[in-house]
Amino acid sequence: MKYSGYAYIKTIGCQMNVYDSEKLAAILNSYGYEKTIDMDKADIVVCNTCSIRHKAEEKAFSFLGRFAKIKKKKPHLITVMAGCVAQQEGEKAFARVPHLDIVLGTQAFSRFGPIIDAIKSGKKKIVDIKNSAMIYEALPDTSCFEENKISKFVTIMQGCDNFCTYCVVPHVRGRERSRLPAAIIEEITLLAAAGVKEVTLLGQNVNSYGQKEAQISFPKLLAAVNDIAGIHRIRFATSHPKDLSSDLIYAIRDLDKVCSHLHLPVQSGSNKILKKMNRGYTREKYIDRILKLRKECPDIALSTDIIVGFPSETWEDFKDTMNLLREIEFDSIFAFAYSDRSSAPAARFSDQIDEDEKKERLNNLLELQEYYTGKKNKQQIGKILDVLVEGKSGKLRDGFDHVQKSMEQMVGRTQSNKIVHFPSKDVIIGDIIKIRIENAYPHSLWGHPQGA
Ligand code: SAH
Ligand code: SF4
Ligand code: F3S
């Protein structure tokens, strides 16, 4: 059916949720709803949720909670909880958010349209958390949906079979499923035709792409994407250390469009904790992979995820993690205090760590990493780096005061995923230009276009 009105979409969580929200927006668009950034205008509100940690889950409930009052004044407003918390809670979501109309699980997107029709024709409170095979092929194409986008996410596989003991993902995203290579290539070709220059291939375990279905391997898929005209940069996330094959390392080394950056979550530097987490590798094996990677790709930037305060983590275990940061010198890290998730087994492990203690460890870790992030940024000074221009930047850097008023401060990214600010009056968004790096800040770089 076609309706008319506005849709407001709030996205919480990872890059896959960003991709999913675009799909939801495209479905709503095909049903006549125009996307709005003004919540007050909305006739349908969708919160695409994340349950990875307690805080993310609370954010979803508090966002949706705000609509209790609004719905009283505006009874036709449709409220939707989509994504990972929806999948996890199912029917129970109505107890916490009584005014909610739709609970749309992670695999129910292809049924979203008919569900809206049912609500419009008077049906109340619909839950769909049924499992489905890969869903994306059944959804509208989003290549022309958002204009002026130069960088896009493309989900190539969904779900996870690893069952790390702290993690909800296998429970909320289901078993690992890979999309067909032809569908991925078609989607990226459409994106390239719409002006997209950079794609980030997404999966919870992206480097095991295709293994289960015995279709082409991830390095072969990268090679196929590398051949798509118009695409200049390829990124991918998230890779699992246990599946970091030599073939993938060679693909990063040899494929010109694949960026020289790898996000490889280690989670802990202690073998005892890695075992309890069920990560499937040891500290030594992780380091061995990094050494191999650095041998083949000496300039590669590395980032990781760390959990501190996992049940039974002692100060000795934590020190092993601190020492791993010293040994590897990551370009950046994402660090989290362990959060109990009732569907994950670690919630029932003994020796849970006190919240204050977790916070202290987290602060120590972040402080240590700040040094290495700064060090890596400073190492860029004097280099001439390829920067993909993303747009005008908001906050002006000190150096900008000294340049001509006719210039704009622009922002872009290096291959290594570092943010670069620079002045220019004639660069085109989406171009890759050479920037001479002159200064380093904690989270960004500053420079001038070569020759300027
Ligand atoms: N598939 C990816 C990451 C998925 S979730 C991987 O395997 O690495 C993103 C990050 O959230 C994880 O890397 C982990 O560091 C963190 N995380 C997951 N569950 C968590 C929990 N229960 N508490 C705290 N952090 C968690
Ligand atoms: Fe979660 Fe582990 Fe799967 Fe990553 S590999 S999504 S941390 S279960
Ligand atoms: Fe969160 Fe679901 Fe992504 S739990 S991290 S939104 S897969």
The predicted structure's pLDDT at residue 395? 66
Nearest C-alpha to atom 1 of ligand 3 is from which residue?
50
Q: What is the C-alpha to C-alpha distance for residues 219 and 352, in angstroms, rounded to an integer?
A: 40
pLDDT the model gives residue 401: 56
Q: Please give the distance, rounded to the nearest whole angstrom, from the Cα atom of residue 149 to the centre of ligand 2.
A: 29
Residue nearest to atom 5 of ligand 3 (CA): 14
> What's the whole-model pTM score?
0.96
261-282: pLDDT as tens digits: 999 999 999 999 999 999 999 9
Find out whether the beta carbon of 349 lies less than 6 Å from any atom of ligand 1.
Answer: no
* pLDDT for residue 215: 86
Per the DSSP assignment, residues forming a β-bridge with 421 are 411, 446
- pLDDT per residue as tens digits for the range 153-179: 999 999 999 999 999 999 999 999 999
Best of 17, 163, 202, 336 to mutate for ligand 2, by most ligand atoms within 8 A of CB?
163
CATH number of 5-128: 3.40.50.12160
pLDDT score of 331: 98
Check pocket membership of 161 for ligand 1, CB cut-off 6 A: no
Q: What is the pLDDT of residue 425?
A: 86
- Burial track 38-56 (b if 16+ CB lie within 10 A, e otherwise): eeeebbbbbbbbbbbbeeb
Q: Is the CB of 239 under 6 A from ligand 2?
A: no
Instruction: Say what the pLDDT of residue 407 is.
Output: 79
Between 3.30.70.2860, 1.10.357.10, 1.20.120.1200, 2.40.50.140, what CATH number should domain 384-449 receive?
2.40.50.140
**Beta-bridge mates of residue 33:** 5
Please indicate whether residue 173, judged by its CB atom, sits closer than 6 Å to ligand 1. Answer: no
Q: Whose CA is nearest to atom 24 of ligand 1?
A: 338
Are the beta carbons of 406 and 425 closer than 8 angstroms?
Answer: yes
Nearest CA to ligand 2 atom 1: 167
The pLDDT score that the predictor gives to residue 143 is: 81
* Distance from residue 169's CA to the centre of ligand 3 (Å): 6
Domain ranges of the chain: 5-128, 384-449
Ranges in the chain, pLDDT < 50: none
CB 204 near ligand 1, within 6 Å: yes
β-bridge partners, 445? 420, 440
Predicted pLDDT at 393:
83
Classify strands 126-128 and 332-337 as parallel, antiparallel or unpaired: unpaired
pLDDT at 144: 76
pLDDT at residue number 399: 57
pLDDT of residue 403: 55
Q: How far is ligand 3, taken at its centre, from the CA of residue 57, in Å?
A: 10
DSSP collapsed to 3 states, the chain: CCCCEEEEEEECCCHHHHHHHHHHHHHHHHCCEEECCCHHHCCEEEEEECCCCHHHHHHHHHHHHCHHHHHHHCCCCEEEEEEHHHHHHHHHHHHHCCCCCEEECCCCHHHHHHHHHHHHCCCCCEEECCCCCCCHHHCCCCCCCCCCCCEEEEECEECCCCCCCCCCHHHHHCCCEECCHHHHHHHHHHHHHCCCCEEEEECCCHHHCCCCCCCCCHHHHHHHHHCCCCCCEEEEECCCHHHCCHHHHHHHHHCCCECCEEECCCECCCHHHHHHHCCCCCHHHHHHHHHHHHHHCCCCEEEEEEEECCCCCCHHHHHHHHHHHHHHCCCEEEEEECCCCCCCHHHHCCCCCCHHHHHHHHHHHHHHHHHHHHHHHHCCCCCEEEEEEEEECCCCCHHHHHCCCCCEEEEEEECCCCEEEEEECCCCCCCEEEEEEEEECCCCEEEEECCC
Task: Please tell me if the CB atom of residue 205 comes closer than 6 angstroms to any atom of ligand 2.
Answer: yes
For residue 53 and ligand 1, the question of a CB distance below 6 A is answered with yes
Residue nearest to atom 4 of ligand 2 (CA): 204
- Confidence (pLDDT) at 400: 57
Index of the ligand 2 atom closest to the CA of residue 173: 6
